[in-house]
A = this chain, B = another copy of it.
Amino acid sequence: MATTRERIHEIIFEADTRAGKAFDIALLVAIILSVVIVMLESVRSLDARFAEEFDTLEWVFTGLFTLEYLLRIYVTNKPLKYIFSFYGIIDLLSIVPSYIGLFVGGAESLLVIRSLRLLRIFRVLKLTRYVGESNQLISALIASRRKILVFLFAVLAVTIIMGTAMYLIEGRKNGFDSIPHSIYWAIVTLTTVGYGDISPHTWAGQLLASIIMILGYGIIAVPTGIVTSEMTKKHNTSNTKVCQNCNEDYHLDEAKYCHHCGKRL
């Protein structure tokens, strides 16, 4: 019995063996299909025609995911650790709404939580060499997190001040009916989205809006500059030199000696 349990554990939790990989991909396909069904179910015209089919498929996937959830608890040595892990909670949340829906109406809409299971895709991607690329992207973002935070704070400060000013200038009659709403408008404008659901009507408002737009058009250069500069720095040291003396692995391409301990590379 233990062998079966171990084998199931290997298939479900590992991703390096052939069976584990196949299971992960099959699971991913099932998740994508179930998410697509939840999506299509939300389209009124489709729901009217295929209500029954959606319902059946819904229960098939709920059954499969419940089975998978129970199996995961059964085969793991530390069930509590899995249950309260990030994926464990998402796995549970993705099946619970269906059962709640039996007793309470409207709970089906919570099924969209299931889309969070799509995050499992990253586990499958881990198998591929895409991981190196996404690691590079993520490490560039992490390395510049403080600069990005300062930038975000500056953006928030600008939108709060500008939004408040627009509330005073344009006022309720032109759609700027509260300060939070005006700040929302300022964000819409600064990020160059520009829905146009609210737009300035007075010349002073249009002047201020123009300033916000040019500001937004210009300061988009800042996050771009941050990330680009971080990425350029990265690939400046895209070599694989490692100092044999101190294990330092970050060297300039033209380095001949370790900058950390002075030994020849």
B-contacting residues of A (Cβ < 8 Å)?
35, 38-40, 42-44, 109, 112, 115-116, 118-119, 121, 125, 129-130, 133-134, 136-137, 140-141, 146-153, 155, 157, 160-161, 164-165, 167-168, 172, 177-181, 183-184, 187-197, 199, 203, 206-207, 209-210, 213-214, 216-218, 220-235, 238, 248-252, 254-264
* New A-B pairs, 9, CB < 8 Å, besides A221-B223, A226-B231, A255-B260: A40-B180, A118-B160, A121-B157, A137-B147, A192-B217, A195-B199, A220-B224, A250-B254, A254-B260
Q: A160-B115, A229-B231, A255-B259 are in contact. Are A150 and B130 (CB under 8 A)?
A: yes
Query: How far is B194's CA from A71's CA once the two chains are assembled, in angstroms?
Result: 45
Query: How far is B239's CA from A233's CA once the two chains are assembled, in angstroms?
Result: 13
| Chain B nearest CB, measured from A166 CB (Å) | 11
Q: Is the interface of A mostly helix, strand, loop or mixed?
A: helix
In contact, B184 and A206 (Cβ under 8 angstroms): yes
In contact, A150 and B178 (Cβ under 8 angstroms): no
Give every chain B residue within 8 A of A195 (Cβ-Cβ): 194-196, 199
In contact, A234 and B227 (Cβ under 8 angstroms): no
Give every chain B residue within 8 A of A109 (Cβ-Cβ): 168
Considering the complex, give the chain B residue whose CB is closest to the CB of A151. Answer: B137
Q: A134-B150, A224-B225, A231-B229 are in contact. Are A187 and B213 (CB under 8 A)?
A: yes
